[in-house]
Amino acid sequence: MLQLVNLSNYHTDNALIGNSPEYLQAFLTQYKLDGLEMMFCAPWDTELHQRKWLQGCHLRFWPWWLDFWRGDQQALRREFASEEEIAACYGGTTREAWLDIYRDNIRTATAAGVKYLVFHVSNARVAELFSWQFHAACREVIEATIEVVNALAPDIPADTALLFENLWWPGLTLRDKELTAMLLDSVTHRNVGIMLDTGHLMNTNPDLRTEAEGVEYVLTTLDNLGSYARYIRGIHLHKSLTGKYIRYSQSNTGKLKAAYNMEEVMHHVLKIDEHRPFTTSAAKNIINYVQPEFLVHEFMYRSLTDWEGKLSQQLQALGLIHNGI
């Protein structure tokens, strides 16, 4: 099992590590980590994010993309002020232009020698994030995802695993065995699997209150997948116990605005999806059940101190470090 942390090459993350490969190496060594799951948001600086550390790549993602893929111009005009805004979001106005962004992302990841790619399987329009009234069902999102992935399959090396990540919006939630099977069985790239995101799965049950309840819910959900649970090859390990906010949000849909800015969207999403560390040993039960190839300690962090604190806390809870290191 490789133990990793998530990192992007966005300028704020570069600044977080002091734009220093020496610091990054010291960080990984200090916490006995095997490397990084990278997200390439900009051209790859091979000196800063060295190939030897790059084990996985989280592909870029668009929370709302189904209308564009379907060519639903009426829906797109409600979301965007102009054709130029649509092109800026998706790299152009055609499917191929958008797919080319993915292809470039995949080429960079391939050059970096990563062992796996992570692909988000979800879709929700901006207003739906707040209203909880989704226009597309999980099946529709998964069917369209299969189309997208099969268009990209020729660009993915056979020895690179493609791992589908679950979310709580319509798409792959892992709560439906049939839909999970349909996705895994229908993509033409056969080196596939699931990247289980524990916090995202917890977000599908607002009744959860404790880590123990969250872990039990995760394990029950995996049991219900039957033989398809064996496709889980990696874990994004973190917790999200935000049922109180989810219930509040779902009960206040009558106060919706006509439009939301990105700051409001991010504030809302992060109130649901906290990416906090586990603080008890309960999470070891998930690791023992899955026996993952890749364990990613995935957090949102405001500062280096915040990142190190969360990582240290989760590693201690898992018994992987003691008294800090």
Distance CA 144, CA 163 (A): 16
Average pLDDT, stretch 99-113? 98
Average pLDDT, stretch 303-320? 95
Q: How many residues does the chain have?
A: 325
User: Which are the contacts of 33, defined by CB distance < 8 A and separation ≥ 6?
Assistant: 3, 4, 5, 27, 297
Q: What is the pLDDT of residues 38-77, one digit of tens each?
A: 999 999 999 999 999 999 999 999 999 999 999 999 999 9
Counting Cβ atoms within 10 Å, is residue 265 exposed (0-12), middle (13-18) or buried (19+)?
middle
Average pLDDT, stretch 20-34? 96
pLDDT at position 20, please?
96
Residue by residue, DSSP assigns 228-278 as GGGGEEEEEE-B---HHHHHHHHHTGGG--S---HHHHHHHHHHH---BPP
| Token representation of residue 283 | 């999470």
Strands 294-297 and 116-120: unpaired
Q: What is the pLDDT of residues 146-167, one digit of tens each?
A: 999 999 999 999 999 999 999 9
Q: What is the pLDDT of residues 176-224, one digit of tens each?
A: 999 999 999 999 999 999 999 999 999 999 999 999 999 999 999 999 9
Alpha-helical segments (H) within 123-261:
126-131, 138-152, 177-186, 198-202, 211-224, 243-251
The candidate with the shortest Cα–Cα distance to 201, out of 181, 182, 216, 184, is: 216
pLDDT at position 257, please?
73
Question: Looking at this protein, which amino acid is placed at residue 312?
Answer: S
pLDDT at position 226, please?
97
Percent helix, percent strand, percent coil in the chain, to nearest 5: 50, 15, 35
Residue 122 has pLDDT above 70, yes or no: yes
Q: In degrees to the nearest 10, what's the CA dihedral of 87, 93, 95, 96?
A: -80
> DSSP strand E in the chain: where?
2-8, 35-39, 54-58, 116-120, 161-165, 192-197, 232-237, 294-297
pLDDT at position 140, please?
98
The candidate with the shortest Cα–Cα distance to 154, out of 196, 184, 110, 120, is: 110
User: Which are the contacts of 254, defined by CB distance < 8 A and separation ≥ 6?
Assistant: none
Distance CA 271, CA 234 (A): 25
Q: In degrees to the nearest 10, what's the CA dihedral of 139, 141, 145, 148?
A: 130
| Token representation of residue 132 | 């909880």
pLDDT at position 321, please?
75
At residue 323 the predicted structure's pLDDT band, cuts being 50, 70 and 90, is low
Residue 324 has pLDDT above 80, yes or no: no
pLDDT at position 259, please?
81
| Token representation of residue 127 | 């207003």
| Token representation of residue 324 | 């800090």
Q: What is the pLDDT of residues 124-147, one digit of tens each?
A: 999 999 999 999 999 999 999 999
pLDDT at position 148, please?
98
DSSP assigned state of 324 = T
Q: What is the pLDDT of residues 251-291, one digit of tens each?
A: 988 777 778 888 999 999 999 999 999 999 999 999 999 99
Distance CA 1, CA 55 (A): 12
Residue 33 has pLDDT above 70, yes or no: yes
The candidate with the shortest Cα–Cα distance to 57, out of 122, 121, 113, is: 113
Mean of pLDDT over the chain: 95
Distance CA 225, CA 244 (A): 27
* CA-based torsion, 230, 162, 287, 168: positive or negative: negative
Q: What is the pLDDT of residues 212-235, one digit of tens each?
A: 999 999 999 999 999 999 999 999
